[in-house]
Amino acid sequence: MRSSQVLEIMHNILVVDDELSIRQSLKGVLEDEGYHASGSESGEACLELLRRRPFDVVLLDVWLPGMDGLDTLQKIKESENAPEVIMISGHGTIETAVRATKLGAFDFLEKPLSLEKTLILVKNAVEAKRLRRENKDLKKQLFPRSVIVGDSIPMKALRQQIGLMAPTNGRVLIFGESGTGKELAAHAIHAQSPRKDNLFVEVNCAAIPEDLIASELFGHRQGSFAGAVTDKEGKFQKAHGGTLLLDEVGDMSLKTQSKVLRMLDEQRFTPVGGDEPISVDVRVIAATNKDLEEEISKGNFREDLFYRLNVIPFYVPPLRERREDIPSLTRHFLKEFSAGYGRKPREVTDDAIDTLMHYAWPGNVRELRNVIERIVIMNPSVNRLDRKHLPPLVYRDGTRKSLGDTSTLHQARAAYERDYILKKLDENHGNVSRTAEVLGLERSHLYRKMKTLSIAVKE
């Protein structure tokens, strides 16, 4: 083995050929290059070896006794973590090469073998296997983004709807307030569709300036406008074969709406500054927090585009309409952020859950997620999260609505002071003296304040 590769990962290569001399020759060359090489004399022996240990690349002869190379290739590719396979043949035909490629072969080598070409192909196959593994791992990491948490009736109905229509190519329009999880629903649709192995591409129509949105969606050619120093691939082209989410589609200008409408009708577009149209196969999902029918009546949204997008409408309800999901969402986010920040799993008390369920959550699930992340960050050594660990905004005994019902600034201030003092008392186990010290008040002053705010003294 070369000294420079002593610390590198030993990639496993399997040579399958019924000629002992070829197996030994290839094993020697591969081991000189720093690979760990093994040999097998038949397709059956190859499959048995693959069942016992993993390989990165298989060099597989087409002509073998018993099960031939193509049948062996087909069996190899049926396994979950299949290695890359390079086929070898002494008298290969175009038909054999085409069939091998369709069965999933990485490439095809003809005898007598060129050692230089063989080593290049093995190196490329090892890299392809690595990238495939990384891509699989990345998908596992992204999988939580497509998990819809909650057992409320609206969430059960939403999951059922997604299960029914995800396998189709129908366009989807998702309605819901900001922070409800419209993007999550879009991810779930993609993850359960035949397009799941291709890209899921997102574009926030509200976040891109009007003069750049066409370039962002359709791409541009070099020199088509000031600053276009190179060609750029647009989101529609990038999502070819996959799914494109047009988030906040209600904020798209009428000019851009017209271009998107044409794209949906023709399934092709011309990049900014380009001459040749580009055809794509893209499933479009749109999402909005606006009432598009009202926007149509105001002249802000094209009615024909609305009907193109609204093939399958979805509604994601706000968190206040499914409060029974708050406990499961809280525990889900606690688990996610505890793992993400390298902390031990956290428990949460019933008192804290009850407090969370009485808050109005104007920012919906996104606000709850942010609150839980803040709690995990700010309480690194706490294993059991209680009511006192919640931020003052959420801590209020009533909901935000109860504060909003107060008719004067004085009443609003009194409500906030009462809830803040209650929180500090709870943190100090009802000890008024210690609470007064934390608040920077005289003990007598805090007593008077508590009496004014109708807070019972427990000492």
pLDDT string in tens for the chain (459-residue length): 343 333 345 789 999 999 999 999 999 999 999 999 999 999 999 999 998 888 999 999 999 999 999 999 999 998 877 999 999 987 767 788 888 888 999 998 888 889 999 999 999 999 988 888 776 655 555 445 668 899 898 899 999 999 999 999 999 999 999 999 999 999 999 999 999 888 899 999 998 888 889 999 999 988 888 878 888 889 999 999 999 999 999 999 999 999 999 999 999 999 998 888 899 999 999 999 999 999 999 999 999 999 999 999 999 999 999 999 999 999 999 998 998 888 888 899 998 999 999 888 999 999 999 999 999 998 888 889 888 888 877 765 444 444 444 445 566 566 667 777 877 887 888 888 888 888 888 888 888 888 877 776 654
Rounded to the nearest 5 percent, the helix, strand and coil shares of the chain are 50, 15, 35
- Are the C-beta atoms of 373 and 347 separated by less than 8 Å? no
**pLDDT the model gives residue 92:** 64
Backbone phi and psi for residue 382, each to the nearest 5 degrees, phi listed first: -90, 125
Q: How far apart are CA 106 and CA 132, in angstroms?
A: 12
Predicted TM-score (pTM) of the model is 0.60
Backbone phi and psi for residue 435, each to the nearest 5 degrees, phi listed first: -65, -40
**pLDDT the model gives residue 428:** 82
Q: What is residue 286's three-state secondary structure?
A: strand
Q: How far apart are CA 353 and CA 355, in angstroms?
A: 5
- Backbone φ/ψ region at 149: left (φ over 0), alpha (ψ -120 to 50), beta: beta
Q: How far apart are CA 188 and CA 287, in angstroms?
A: 14
Number of alpha carbons in the 13 Å side-chain half-sphere of residue 18? 13
**pLDDT the model gives residue 403:** 41
- Closest among 237, 305, 308, 246 to 272, alpha carbons compared: 237
Q: Establish whether the linkage from the previous residue to 65 is cis, with ω within 30° of 0.
A: no
The contacts of residue 321 (CB under 8 Å, 6+ apart) are 154
